[in-house]
Amino acid sequence: MNLKDEPLHLNKNMLLAKVQLVLSTSAEEFVYNVTENKDKKSFNWEQNHDLSHLDAVEKAKLLKLLEKYDSIFAQNIEELGECDLVQHQIHLTDNIPTRQRPYRVPYALKPEMRRQINILLEAGIIQPSNSPYAAPVLMVRKPDGSYRLVADLRKLNEKTIPDNFPLPNLTEMVDMLSGAKFFTSMDLTSGFHQMKMHPDHAFLTGIATEFGVFEFKRLPFGLRNASASFQRLMSIVLAGLSHLQIGCYIDDIIIASKSVEDHLSKLGIVFKRLIDANLRVKPSKCSFLQKKVTYLGQTVSEGQVFPDTKNLDSIRKAVPPKNRKQVRSFLGLTGFYRRFIPNYSKTALPLTNLTKENVPFNWLIIEQTAFETLKNALTLEPCLKLPDFSKPFSLCTDASKFALGAVLVQDDEGGFQHPVAFASKKLSKSEISYSVVEKETLGVVFGVTQFKSYLYGRKFTVYSDQQCLTRVKSFNDPTSRISR
């Protein structure tokens, strides 16, 4: 096998290899040995999951349902199903093969690499290949100390045409849980490896190892467009169920209900869809009929939503950045939760300025204050109210010299206002020169635009600290910025 891009010339009588008789072999020494299939063991739900929050009748009904659909649960990749409702295709900008030499692997990790290749072969996820495409693989250490075989597909990804199939909006996925009292979350077992590669495109996923060249029969991890392709598949599998508070973000399924009976009915619907699609769920990643669920980085419980405490721990441990890259990383982490922080843009402005290449990186008191303020705002575990679309909304807006702020609120039964979401933005250079009235008006426009999906087609109240805004309708001058 020639792994170079140019022809390899062989001289006459050149020694290519030595052959010797093997008298005995070990089953663990060669990649192509197939171990004996073992019967699938049922998962012990009572032993491995806390179901103490359910009464005896509810628990019995849930366990009966799980027993009925036991076949959809897979504890390892040997038990995976294969779904061909959508077959992943790869479209490239050119037909020039990308080929790289195998990476050298530490001797201590070679047995583990060989073992994992064996497992992938036995599970039908990869197959031997003569593909002109060859990406190297490496062993990546996981948090628990074990290793995972990963294909370095960056060269192939660089020339792959993007698939623009949209992923669900994270905020809308969480808003969908409003009004529910019981939640179930499920992850598919190695979800990508359950989706079939199109046979005509599998050769493009060739991987080069010291044990041979292989190609993926199933969708590999690390491939460009893998998430979009899998989302397309799941949108077909769970089509028409969003109105039942059933959703999926890539391979993470969420189910919400107001009652246990309704929830069990929805579970049966989802299980049936998964069986029909030949998809498997990882039992250790399931959480059934919980009153609190963490989903997509946010924790939801009876109409309230909080940032995930695991992510907040990372923010608590954050140290002051020492360069632009670290500033961007911190802003990315806190920016994910900006809807929980009042006037986020105004507070983060000193840090945002530091990300500009033409601004000297000087960490002074003002930057440290902004850093600590953002940390404190999130480490206090802020709480928002999930939107109740049967009740009216109110919009509170404000404008400062350099930024705009808005908060969407709803009243509870006692008349107290609770924030649904915060929004903010820094003013542009031209907007900074606006008058106070113009800035306040711009703040209202910003708030309405930002929360359009909640306010459109509804009557709502706007709160502002500028009395002059009540006379906005009297501005008839077409050249007036306020009129526009």
Nearest-5° angle of CA 180, CA 184, CA 190? 145
Asked if residue 79 belongs to a domain, the reply is no
Assess if residue 479 is contained within a domain. yes
pLDDT by residue for the chain (484 residues), tens digit each?
554 455 666 666 666 655 554 444 333 344 444 444 445 667 788 777 878 888 899 999 999 999 999 999 998 889 999 999 999 999 999 999 999 999 999 999 999 999 999 999 999 999 999 999 999 999 999 888 889 999 999 999 999 999 999 999 999 999 999 999 999 999 999 999 999 999 999 999 999 999 999 999 999 999 999 999 999 999 999 999 999 999 999 999 999 999 999 999 999 999 999 999 999 999 999 999 999 999 999 999 988 999 998 888 888 888 999 999 999 999 998 999 999 998 899 899 999 999 998 889 999 999 999 999 999 988 888 899 999 999 999 999 988 888 899 999 998 877 788 999 999 998 988 888 888 888 888 889 999 999 999 999 999 999 887 666 555 556 666 446 666 5
Alpha helix locations (H) across 433-469? Answer: 436-450, 452-455
pLDDT digits (tens, 9 = 90+) for 51-76: 888 889 999 999 999 999 999 999 88
Print the domain residue range for 469: 383-483
Mark which of 347, 363, 380 sits at the end of a domain: 380
Closest listed residue to residue 418, CA positions, set 335, 303, 309 = 303
Looking at the fold, whether 367 and 449 belong to one and the same domain comes out as: no
Are 319 and 334 contained in the same domain?
yes
Residues 399 and 465 in one domain: yes
Locus of tokens 């402005």: 349
Structure tokens at 409: 């609120």
- Statement to judge: residues 401 and 372 lie in one domain: no
Q: Are 415 and 432 found together in one domain?
A: yes
Residues 343 and 399 both lie in one domain: no
Beta strands 394-399 and 461-463: pairing type? parallel
Where does a domain end: 364, 380, 396? Answer: 380
Asked which of 380, 399, 418 is the last residue of a domain, the reply is 380
Q: pLDDT (tens digit, 9 = 90+) per residue, 74-114?
A: 988 899 999 999 999 999 999 999 999 999 999 999 999 99
The number of distinct structural domains making up the chain is 2
Is 131 a domain residue?
Answer: no
Identify the bridge partners of residue 408 per DSSP, sorted by sequence position.
395, 421
Instruction: Tell me, yes or no, whether 395 and 370 share the same domain.
Output: no
Residue 335 lies in a domain: yes
Q: Please report, to the nearest 10 degrees, the dihedral formed by the alpha carbons of residues 465, 470, 476, 478 taken in order.
A: 30
The CATH number that applies at residue 363 is: 3.30.70.270
pLDDT computed for residue 23 by the predictor: 40
C-alpha to C-alpha distance for 1 and 213, rounded to whole angstroms: 9
- Angle at which helix 56-68 crosses helix 260-277, to 10 degrees, equals 10
Residues 6+ apart with CB under 8 A from 27: 33, 35
Cross-strand pairs, 195: 83
Amino acid at 234: M
96 found inside a domain: no
What CATH number corresponds to the domain at position 420? 3.10.20.370
Of the candidates 214, 336, 282, the one whose C-alpha atom is nearest the C-alpha of residue 49 is 282
Q: Are residues 342 and 407 in the same domain?
A: no
Q: Which residues of 61-77 are buried (b: 16+ CB within 10 A; e: fewer)?
A: bbeebbeebeebbbeeb
